[in-house]
């Protein structure tokens, strides 16, 4: 069965500092991994994905994520946080064997302090 864990409900970081939002996953086959961001009263917006290829994936708004197969992790990172990055971040996974069912994590609220 697929599962995703986002161990931190909230992450606080000072503006200009690097940020990391953690995600670990479990799938039977090859993982397709995604990060989405949600602003208040809005739908989710796609940030980046890993399906195959380089383990370091670059996405929108300066975000990147590293796929680590041995640790089954896909942590979201950004070298320098902005106040406008404050939002709810979701990690999602699907099993690449063919099912299109996605499992989302419970979300991590990122708060960037000025």
Partner 1 sequence: NAGVMQNPRHLVRRRGQEARLRCSPMKGHSHVYWYRQLPEEGLKFMVYLQKENIIDESGMPKERFSAEFPKEGPSILRIQQVVRGDSAAYFCASSPDGNIQYFGAGTRLSVL
Please report, as ranges, the residues that interact with partner 1 according to CB under 8 A.
32, 34, 36, 41-46, 49, 51, 90, 99-107
**Residue among 4 and 81 whose Cβ is closer to partner 1:** 4
As measured in angstroms, the least distance from the Cβ of 32 to partner 1 is: 7
As measured in angstroms, the least distance from the Cβ of 12 to partner 1 is: 17
User: Alpha-carbon distance 100 to 102, whole Å?
Assistant: 6
As measured in angstroms, the least distance from the Cβ of 38 to partner 1 is: 8
**Residue among 3 and 17 whose Cβ is closer to partner 1:** 3
Which two three-digit tokens encode residue 103? 């499992």
**Residue among 14 and 39 whose Cβ is closer to partner 1:** 39
For residues 44, 89, 59 and 1, what is the CA-based torsion angle, rounded to 10 degrees? -90
User: Alpha-carbon distance 47 to 43, whole Å?
Assistant: 13
As measured in angstroms, the least distance from the Cβ of 19 to partner 1 is: 20
């Amino acid at each position: 069965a697929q599962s995703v864990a986002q161990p931190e409900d909230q992450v606080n970081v000072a503006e200009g500092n690097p940020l990391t939002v953690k995600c670990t996953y479990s799938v039977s086959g090859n993982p397709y991994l995604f990060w989405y961001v949600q602003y208040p009263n809005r739908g989710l917006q796609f940030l980046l994905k890993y399906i195959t290829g380089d383990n370091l994936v670059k996405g929108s708004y300066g975000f990147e994520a590293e796929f680590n197969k041995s640790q089954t992790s896909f942590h979201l990172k950004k070298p320098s946080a902005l106040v406008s990055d404050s939002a709810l971040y979701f990690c999602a996974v699907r099993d690449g064997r063919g099912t299109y069912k996605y499992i989302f994590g419970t979300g991590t609220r990122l708060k960037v302090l000025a």
